[in-house]
Structure 1
């Protein structure tokens, strides 16, 4: 049943024709919910296990489409959906819309000063809306810390009594890198990879232990990040000594001849 509901819901939230009318979109969601509520009541005697399966399935497919916050931005629709289906179905959508408004306010508050920093995009979600994976932090580069602190001050100044925790294990960054002979590339990397690469703006080489100490990235993530940056033949951004497919704690890494990376996002 779970598989059927997810497939049905996925078709609904990914059909471009059905997404043109937000009111019709929400009404179709409610119709699907009513239908399966009746099935659970009549065929399963409101069994809690089956109800949980239904709830999980709806939460899965409603959040599949990144345009969902835009489609149900009218407050009456969100309230109606929340009333009919429960808070868990709309919490992420509401948080995402609120995050968009927060970022617009933050950028406006910075004024012309915003041009002095890398572009920062933050999604502020309530604790229960994050995927159930352990959070892990790392030391962000000084070029990034400045704008992060600006956002921190702005957000907590606008929302008293709240607390922010950076989920660096879930972030990404766009880097502009200049390699030997003036070759320029744009790289989309994880936050961990960004922290590693930007160390080489001020050093031509670094040992594993030096990178570990500078970034304080969790060991498993650090090795995985270094492996992807230095051990993919023909696509490596860093050089590793000694040459091997695995990363060891006595390895040394160097930049690709006069390389430099700057964070754009």
Structure 2
């Protein structure tokens, strides 16, 4: 049996806090903003912007509507800054040159809307990009109509002639192309300058891509989509079983920082290595050789 001998009770009386609702609101607002900021600045989430936006859209039914309203508001009054204009140009640049545009009509429709809201000056470069892409298609048709029979079944060249001033500024970086491609490029240069007076061509080899058919030592065949730099390196192995870093550097004349990234992508991606390097390590060194 338990008996209560002594109990000292304590009663607290609550008093109304002045502006209590405002205080709670400010604290909650600060918490929500801090939490949201952590989410959108998370480096892991920023690695795939598309998945990140899709995850936001899944959080609430009205998310697509809110994003649409935000974009509409920016189009109406906030897209006149040069930084935003440069961002749009850079993204469109990559999409057009990589051939990842699904619909030209959709792209042009967006440009028309931007032009309506922001003026002709804002979209003049974007329109110039599309003009260059269309003109380049016509130019390539003319080139192969003139030289197709002569070129036969050799490598195929696709050139996109970009007007200086319409595209984001790119430094002109060149490298030594494989002899097969170098001869083809010179033939195109001769054709283009012969049909356009007062023009000058400079190759942006750092922006190109190539499709290669590769046969490895075990007889397996693959089709590889690579950058121009990667193509230049891989084609060297048609005439050599192995090459040192210095030999590759001298043969291609690819800028050192770009060459290092190129070799890392070819020899340091676990499970997807196209080349092997000696000695084995996680980085690329000047004393290595590749095979």
Fold equivalence (TM over 0.5): yes
Match of 1:203 in 2: 240
**Cα deviation digits, residues 87-144 of structure 1 (max 9, x gap):** 2231111111111111111111113123242111111011123333423111000011
Where does residue 163 of structure 1 map in the other structure? 200
Question: Aligned in 2, Cα 1:212/1:97: closer, same or farther, shift over 3 Å?
Answer: same
Q: Residue in 2 aligned with 1:113? A: 150
Counterpart position of 1:174: 211
**Greater length-normalized contact order (CA 8 Å, ≥ 6 residues apart):** 1
* Alpha-carbon distance in structure 2 between the residues aligned to 1:230 and 1:60: 29
Match of 1:258 in 2: none
Indicate the residue corresponding to 1:97 in structure 2.
Answer: 134
Which of 146, 166, 169 is 1:132 aligned to?
A: 169
The aligned residue for residue 27 of structure 1 is none
Give the aligned length.
206
RMSD: 3.0
Worse overlay, 163-172 or 110-119: 110-119
2:120 to 80, 85, 88: 85
Structure with greater strand share of residues: 1
Please give the alpha-carbon distance, in whole angstroms, between the structure 1 residues aligned to 2:103 and 2:128: 12
Q: Secondary structure at the match of 2:200?
A: coil
Who is 1:248 aligned against? 285
| Kept in 1: contact 2:209–2:227 (CA 8 A) | yes
Match of 1:148 in 2: 185
Output the CA distance in 2 between the equivalents of 1:208 and 1:233.
20
Instruction: Flag the structure with larger Rg.
Output: 2
1:186 alignment partner, SS class: strand
Cα distance change of structure 1 residues 50 and 152 upon mapping to structure 2, 3 Å threshold: closer
Matched position secondary structure for 1:238 = coil
Structure 2: state its 5+ residue gaps: 1-71
What is the CA–CA distance in structure 1 between the aligned matches of 2:83 and 2:227, rounded to whole Å?
33
TM-score scaled by length of structure 2: 0.62
Please give the alpha-carbon distance, in whole angstroms, between the structure 2 residues aligned to 1:184 and 1:114.
25
Point out where structure 1 has 5 or more consecutive residues left out of the alignment: 1-31, 41-48, 255-265
